Amino acid sequence: MTQNYIGVDLSKEWIDIFDPRSGHSRLPNQEAALRRWLSNLPADSFLVFEATSLCDQLILRLASALGRPFHRLNPLHGWHFGRLLNLPKTDRVDAAMLARLGAERRLPASPGFAASHAALAELSGRRDQLKRMETQEKNRLAKAFCDAVRRDIEDSLATLAERIRRIDAAIESHLAAHPELARDAALLETIPGIGRVTAVALLAAMPELGRLDRRAIASLGGLAPRARESGKWRGHRFTGQGRRHVRRALYMAALGTMRRSGAFGRQAEAMRSRGKPGKVIAVAIARKILIIANALLRDQTPWKAPT
């Protein structure tokens, strides 16, 4: 069935809609209005909207509940597409641009909203926030000489440590209440270098795991090498874009596992023998870990070391 791509530009107060069949319209970003609009859409409707923090949460939940397919777009991709077309920046224009982007690129449907996954993502995000706060306080402690300041920072660190423990306990309780998430986390933990924290971070940040091919999942995780070439010039390939928190978590996992014996350690040693720098080796292993994680969740089988 041919899809009718409908662009939806979101803001806190309202949404601007561009339907190629009926033109522009505007609705309040409120549940009653959105539910009524979504319920009356034809079966071939396909929504395209940007992941805009809390502004997209209502339409994300309602579209999922009503079975409406949608693509939740990285805002950077929409911005680049608008620049390519030399478009002005208004809500109406953005809605039309999103509809055009969906139709031209034939965007695939994004995973629907799942309350269990959303809660895990929120818990994991909060843990990450607290760990960053803890790191900041440790850096301040290293530079502090006044006894009163040092005591205050030490009290803050003790409080943060207790809050992190509470969040960790909440994550464990959430996994215990949702066996499918606990099963997936256990599968990811069979990969060398992946512990509970990294497994939860992957599940929280990448609901697409197990649903995409290896190239798409590497690109989404910001671990696909991108060429830089012009004429005879050949620049170094680089990774970037994608989900930086996924890239960061897997990079740290790779640093740990590349120093051990085993499949990843052998890969690291082989790359060192070819003169590859350490950062390139770590990125390559991080990409391999992500591809393996994708395959494990797709097949629902634990990792086995190659013989």
130 and 164 share one domain: yes
146 and 236 share one domain: no
Whether 287 maps to a domain, the answer reads yes
77 and 162 share one domain: no
130 and 162 share one domain: yes
Hey, what are 165's tokens? Answer: 């423990």
59 and 77 share one domain: yes
211 and 292 share one domain: yes
52 and 11 share one domain: yes
Give the model's pLDDT for residue 163. Answer: 98
Whether 234 maps to a domain, the answer reads yes
Q: Cα 165 vs. chain centroid, distance in angstroms? A: 24
Out of 105, 132, 155, pick the residue that ends a domain. Answer: 105
Domain CATH code at residue 89: 3.30.420.10
Going from the C-alpha of 135 to that of each of 42, 69, 131, 132, 294, the distances in angstroms are 51, 41, 6, 5, 31
40 and 123 share one domain: no
8 and 101 share one domain: yes
Q: Residue 49: helix, strand or coil by DSSP?
A: strand
Closest listed residue to residue 32, CA positions, set 54, 55, 53, 62: 62
Give the model's pLDDT for residue 254. Answer: 87
207 and 144 share one domain: no
Give the model's pLDDT for residue 38. Answer: 95
Whether 267 maps to a domain, the answer reads yes
Give the model's pLDDT for residue 306. Answer: 73
Instruction: Name the residue range of residue 155's domain.
Output: 115-177
pLDDT averaged per 10 residues in sequence order, the chain, 307 residues: 90 92 93 94 94 82 92 87 89 93 91 87 94 97 96 97 97 96 96 92 88 82 61 51 77 84 85 88 89 93 82
The domain total for the chain is 3
Out of 136, 162, 177, pick the residue that ends a domain. Answer: 177
pLDDT tens digits along 60-85: 899 999 999 999 888 888 888 998 89
Q: 134-137: long-range contacts at Cβ-Cβ below 8 A with a sequence spacing of 24 or more?
A: 134/160, 134/161, 134/164
Give the model's pLDDT for residue 233. Answer: 45
Q: pTM value?
A: 0.76
| C-alpha–C-alpha distance, residues 200 and 184, integer Å | 9
Give the model's pLDDT for residue 235. Answer: 45
Hey, what are 272's tokens? Answer: 């060192």
Whether 304 maps to a domain, the answer reads no
173 and 223 share one domain: no
Give the model's pLDDT for residue 166. Answer: 98
pLDDT tens digits along 263-302: 888 888 888 899 988 888 888 888 999 999 999 999 999 9
Out of 105, 123, 140, pick the residue that ends a domain. Answer: 105
Of the CA atoms within 13 Å of residue 202, those in its CB half-sphere come to 37
Whether 279 maps to a domain, the answer reads yes
Give the model's pLDDT for residue 1. Answer: 62
Closest listed residue to residue 110, CA positions, set 168, 62, 46: 46
Whether 223 maps to a domain, the answer reads yes
Whether 183 maps to a domain, the answer reads no
Whether 96 maps to a domain, the answer reads yes
| C-alpha–C-alpha distance, residues 54 and 65, integer Å | 18
Specify whether the CB–CB gap between 152 and 143 falls below 8 A: no
